[in-house]
Amino acid sequence: MRVLQAKAEADAMQYTLPLKQKQIEQTKLEAEARKEATLQNAEAAAQAKIIDSKAEVERQKNLSDAEANRIRVTAAADAERMKYEAAVLKQNPLLIQKIIAERLSDKLQIMMVPMDGKNFFAADVMRSAFQNNNASGGSDAPADDPDDSSPVATAAARRKPGKRP
Residue 158 phi/psi, 5-degree rounding, is: -150, 155
> Are the C-beta atoms of residues 113 and 152 closer than 8 Å to each other?
yes
> Are the C-beta atoms of residues 13 and 19 closer than 8 Å to each other?
no
> Are the C-beta atoms of residues 107 and 160 closer than 8 Å to each other?
yes
> Are the C-beta atoms of residues 108 and 160 closer than 8 Å to each other?
yes
pLDDT of residue 98: 80
- CA-CA-CA-CA dihedral for 16, 21, 27, 28, to nearest 10: 180
| pLDDT < 50: residue spans in the chain | 138-160, 162, 164-165
Question: CA-CA distances (angstroms) from residue 54 to 59, 64, 68?
Answer: 9, 15, 21
